[in-house]
Amino acid sequence: MVTVTADDIRALAQSGDDDPVLVLVDGDVQVMAAREAPPAGRGQIIYTQAELRAESGVEVTDLEAEILASGLTARLR
C-alpha cells in the first residue's frame, strides 16, 4: 500500500528542481523534475509543485501537508 507523507509534500514544496512533481514509481513516492518523470505505465505523476502553490501558496504549514498527504494517499487507493 502506497502512502504519501507530509514529508513528501514538504519536499515537493521546497524542491528547487525545474517544474518539480511528486511521482509514484514502483510503489515509491519521489520528487523529481517533470522532464525526468517516467512515461505512463512506468510511473504516475501524483501532484505538481504548481498545483501545490496554487492551492496553498509558497509556504505549506504542517497541517496543510498532513491533510494533503492524506488526501493524495486516499486517491491512490
Q: Which of 35, 25, 29, 34 is nearest to 6 (CA)?
A: 29
For residue 49, give the nearest of 12, 7, 11, 2 by alpha carbon: 12
pLDDT, tens digit, 9 for 90 and up, residues 46-63: 999 999 999 988 789 999
The answer to whether 33 and 13 have CB atoms below 8 angstroms apart is: no
pTM for the predicted model, two decimal places = 0.93
Q: Taking the domains of the chain in order of start, what are their residue ranges? A: 6-72
Instruction: Dump pLDDT digits (tens) for 28-37.
Output: 999 999 999 9
